[in-house]
């Protein structure tokens, strides 16, 4: 017979066993034996079977024993990407609370231990019974519950997790945390924790658009709270559409994995240069020639590459967005400065040229502000060509293994992208149509949040559907990782 070593159980199972043992005034070993006996005899009811099964599997897998009798055949506890991670899920009182059930299932499928707290309002939408059955744990609902406070305590509850996830995050929960309220279990845990917090807001589009909610979200973001969603689309209430729909469970899982940094790191040890934003070419000390590039796409690509483990050096023109986290950013103004910064960063494994570099600059920018002199009329600006940074690196003696260029065109997109590929020595060109009629959002590609691109390489043209710039970035980063893996130098 396999022996039982309580020490080898994972913390969650140990905690469960400790609680049950205390409830029954038994030692933990004795409690485990009773549970195994009960499972073998088929005495365990459906409400508890998940908890018991988990315990049994932990107990037996340590010693390699066979599946215990009574455990459903073929059902195993997965050891997935979130194995050993502890999530404290706070379910708020919104219609999307039903999606939290699927979220629990998805998290447990990946090996996470999920402990759940439900607000009073959440219990109007889903029951503690279904949540408890899916999480295979006690569901916490009360701040002033003597037994819960004695067994776990609200401070421990908030700190024993690796991550707190609020899904759905109601307007009310956001407001409470933004303003430091702590008048129920959920809000108290959120303010008492020393762990990261991820919120998945879900609410009516008008609630989401309300200045108070916007303010609260900005405050929470400033306080370091991460967000996933909400998305735009049909609401669960009839005849309502707009922004406010909770992110789908799998998107929340992806955000949790990103927060816990469990994603694979195929680019670890790779140095990648990215350029982003516009350049400003001075006319005089106060005037310059610029373009509409916001830097959103380039910054998103830098962040996505960093998430895959790359050592990213971002050379950014003047933008109004924040430097991406986990990326070393060098700020420049002019094309010549950008070229110099890029060349100084060589050698690198890859370079991605997303910046909208001005093709021309004024031959001589004036040292003083050019005065408006009526008799002389408007000044004539003589332009000269700027360095071609992509071509320079594409043909450089220290050329990175992979060189990627962007082609923003308003006409003849593919023809221009193919010509650019040949001329500039790039491995592929990401071509985007930046014309007004590109069909991408009201503000178009430049400055907007969406993009539709084609990947032009010697192998042909791959068309990607329209998507968010973050998604384009993630796909491109994955493609770069794939290409770097297969290129042998
Ligand atoms: C049918 C119904 C649906 C609701 N849906 C939402 C919702 O999706 N998002 C939200 O923020 N509030 C929603 N509310 C309002 C919240 O339930 C209410 O603000 C509650 O106080 C939130 O409590 P909690 O934040 O403690 O969970 C809804 C209310 C009702 C009656």
Q: State whether the Cα torsion 333-337-341-342 is positive or negative.
A: positive
Domain ends where: 205, 226, 259? Answer: 259
pLDDT digits 0-9 by tens, 13-31: 777 777 777 666 666 777 7
**Confidence class of residue 445 from pLDDT cuts 50, 70 and 90?**
low
pLDDT digits 0-9 by tens, 123-179: 999 999 999 999 988 999 988 887 777 766 778 888 889 999 999 999 999 999 999
Q: How many domains does the chain have?
A: 3
228 and 103 in one domain? yes
**Residues making up the binding site:** 359, 369, 387-390, 406, 420, 424
Q: Which of 51-65, 106-120, 165-179, 321-335 has the lowest mean pLDDT?
A: 51-65
Picking from 398, 423, 389, 395, the residue whose alpha carbon sits closest to that of residue 274 is 389
Give the Cα separation of 137 and 225 in Å (integer): 26
For residue 203, pLDDT beyond 60: yes
Q: What is the pLDDT of residue 180?
A: 97
For residue 70, pLDDT beyond 80: no
**Confidence class of residue 33 from pLDDT cuts 50, 70 and 90?**
confident
For residue 264, pLDDT beyond 70: yes
Q: What is the pLDDT of residue 258?
A: 84
Q: What is the pLDDT of residue 408?
A: 81
Secondary structure tally for the chain: helices H, strands E = 17, 22
Q: What is the pLDDT of residue 293?
A: 92
309 and 251 in one domain? no
Query: What is the residue whose two structure tokens read 């406070």?
Result: 149
Nearest CA to ligand 1 atom 5: 94
* Cα 52 to ligand 1 centroid, rounded to whole Å: 34
191 and 137 in one domain? yes
Q: What is the pLDDT of residue 350?
A: 98
Residues within a 6 A CB radius of ligand 1:
92-96, 119, 121-122, 170-173, 202-203, 207
What is the bridge-based pairing of β-strands 241-245 and 86-91? Answer: unpaired
Both structure tokens of 220: 């929470």
Cis amide prior to 130 (ω within 30 degrees): no
Q: What is the pLDDT of residue 50?
A: 59
Nearest CA to ligand 1 atom 29: 94
> Ligand 1: which of 170, 214, 230 to mutate, judged by most atoms within 8 Å of the beta carbon?
170
Q: Which domain holds residue 335?
A: 271-360+383-486
CATH number of the domain residue 427 falls in: 3.40.50.10300
> Ligand 1: which of 92, 94, 118, 190 to mutate, judged by most atoms within 8 Å of the beta carbon?
94
Q: What is the pLDDT of residue 18?
A: 74
What percent of the chain shows pLDDT beyond 90? Answer: 54
Residues 216, 291, 432, 451: which is the catalytic one? 291
Q: Which of 144-153, 267-276, 394-403, 421-430 has the lowest mean pLDDT?
A: 144-153
* Cα 398 to ligand 1 centroid, rounded to whole Å: 58
64 and 117 in one domain? no
- Residue bearing the bigger pLDDT, 81 or 46: 81
> Ligand 1: which of 96, 119, 121, 125 to mutate, judged by most atoms within 8 Å of the beta carbon?
121
Residue 132 dihedral angles phi and psi, to the nearest 5°: -65, -40
Domain ends where: 259, 283, 312? Answer: 259
DSSP code of 284?
S
- Residue bearing the bigger pLDDT, 439 or 171: 171
Q: What is the pLDDT of residue 241?
A: 74
Mean pLDDT of the region 454-460 = 90
Q: What is the pLDDT of residue 8?
A: 66
Both structure tokens of 287: 């005037």
* Cα 86 to ligand 1 centroid, rounded to whole Å: 26
Q: Which of 124-133, 263-272, 474-483 has the lowest mean pLDDT?
A: 263-272
Q: What is the number of the ligand 1 atom nearest to the C-alpha of 169? A: 11
Q: What is the pLDDT of residue 44?
A: 57
**Can 183 be counted among the known catalytic residues?**
no
Give the Cα separation of 106 and 89 in Å (integer): 13
**Confidence class of residue 417 from pLDDT cuts 50, 70 and 90?**
confident
Q: Is residue 309 part of a domain?
A: yes
pLDDT digits 0-9 by tens, 220-251: 999 999 999 888 777 666 677 788 999 999 88
* Cα 90 to ligand 1 centroid, rounded to whole Å: 14
Average pLDDT, the chain: 84
Picking from 256, 230, 234, the residue whose alpha carbon sits closest to that of residue 244 is 230
* Cα 221 to ligand 1 centroid, rounded to whole Å: 22
302 and 163 in one domain? no
**Residues making up the binding site for CTP:** 359, 369, 387-390, 406, 420, 424
Give the Cα separation of 334 and 169 in Å (integer): 44
224 and 131 in one domain? yes
Give the Cα separation of 213 and 257 in Å (integer): 26
pLDDT digits 0-9 by tens, 285-340: 999 999 999 999 999 999 999 989 999 999 999 998 888 878 899 999 999 999 99
Residues, the chain, total? 489
pLDDT digits 0-9 by tens, 388-412: 999 999 999 999 999 999 988 777 7
For residue 53, pLDDT beyond 60: no
160 and 304 in one domain? no
CATH number of the domain residue 116 falls in: 3.40.50.1950
Both structure tokens of 243: 């922004």
Picking from 324, 361, 320, the residue whose alpha carbon sits closest to that of residue 339 is 361
Domain ends where: 259, 288, 318? Answer: 259
Q: What is the pLDDT of residue 146?
A: 77
102 and 146 in one domain? yes
Q: What angle do CA 314, 318, 323 make, to 5 degrees?
A: 45
Q: What is the pLDDT of residue 401?
A: 96
- Residue bearing the bigger pLDDT, 265 or 43: 265
425 and 331 in one domain? yes
What percent of the chain shows pLDDT beyond 70? Answer: 83
66 and 119 in one domain? no
281 and 254 in one domain? no
Q: Is residue 7 part of a domain?
A: no
320 and 220 in one domain? no
Q: Do 318 and 291 meet the contact criterion of CB atoms below 8 Å apart?
A: no
For residue 46, pLDDT beyond 60: no
Picking from 462, 437, 463, 432, the residue whose alpha carbon sits closest to that of residue 450 is 432
pLDDT digits 0-9 by tens, 355-389: 999 999 999 888 888 988 877 888 889 999 999 99
Give the Cα separation of 357 and 36 in Å (integer): 69
- Residue bearing the bigger pLDDT, 254 or 240: 254
Q: What is the pLDDT of residue 76?
A: 35
């Amino acid at each position: 017979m396999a022996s039982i070593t309580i020490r080898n159980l994972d913390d969650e199972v140990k905690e469960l066993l400790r609680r049950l043992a205390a409830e029954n005034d038994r030692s933990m070993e004795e409690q485990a034996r009773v549970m195994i006996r009960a499972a073998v005899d088929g005495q365990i009811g459906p409400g508890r079977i998940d908890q018991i099964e988990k315990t049994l599997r932990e107990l037996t897998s340590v010693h390699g024993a066979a599946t215990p009798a009574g455990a459903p055949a073929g059902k195993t506890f997965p050891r997935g990407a979130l194995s050993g991670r502890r999530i404290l899920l706070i379910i708020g009182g919104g219609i999307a609370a039903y999606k939290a059930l699927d979220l629990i299932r998805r998290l447990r499928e990946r090996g996470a231990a999920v402990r759940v707290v439900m607000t009073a309002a959440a219990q109007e939408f889903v029951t503690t019974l279904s949540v408890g059955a899916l999480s295979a744990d006690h569901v916490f609902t009360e701040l002033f519950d003597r037994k819960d406070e004695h067994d776990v305590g609200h401070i421990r509850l908030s700190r024993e997790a690796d991550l707190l996830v609020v899904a759905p995050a109601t307007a009310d929960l956001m407001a409470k945390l933004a303003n430091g309220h702590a008048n129920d279990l959920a809000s108290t845990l959120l303010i008492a924790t020393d762990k990261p917090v991820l919120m998945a807001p879900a609410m009516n589009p008008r609630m989401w658009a309300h200045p108070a909610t916007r303010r609260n979200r900005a405050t929470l973001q400033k306080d370091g709270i991460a967000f996933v969603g909400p998305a735009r689309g049909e609401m669960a209430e009839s005849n309502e559409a707009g922004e406010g729909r909770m992110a789908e469970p799998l998107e929340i899982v992806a955000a949790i994995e990103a927060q816990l940094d469990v994603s694979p790191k195929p680019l670890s040890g790779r140095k990648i240069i990215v350029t982003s934003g516009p350049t400003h070419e001075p006319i005089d000390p106060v005037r310059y020639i610029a373009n509409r590039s916001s830097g959103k796409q380039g910054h998103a690509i830098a962040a996505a590459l960093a998430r895959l483990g790359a050592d990213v050096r971002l050379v950014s023109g003047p933008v109004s967005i924040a430097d991406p986290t986990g990326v070393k950013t060098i700020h420049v103004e002019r094309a010549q400065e950008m070229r110099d910064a890029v060349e100084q960063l060589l050698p690198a494994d890859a370079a991605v040229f997303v910046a909208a570099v001005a093709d021309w600059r004024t031959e001589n920018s004036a040292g003083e502000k050019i005065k408006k002199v009526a008799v002389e009329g408007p000044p004539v600006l003589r332009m000269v060509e700027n360095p071609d940074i992509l071509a320079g690196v594409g043909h450089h003696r220290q050329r990175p293994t992979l060189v990627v260029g962007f082609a923003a065109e308003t006409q003849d997109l593919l023809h221009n992208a193919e010509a650019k590929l040949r001329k500039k020595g790039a491995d592929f060109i990401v071509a985007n149509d930046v014309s007004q009629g590109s069909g991408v959002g009201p503000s178009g590609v430049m400055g907007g949040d969406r993009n539709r691109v084609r990947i032009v390489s010697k192998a042909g043209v791959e068309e990607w559907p329209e998507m968010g710039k973050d998604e384009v970035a993630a796909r491109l980063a994955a493609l770069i990782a794939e290409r770097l893996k297969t290129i042998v130098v």
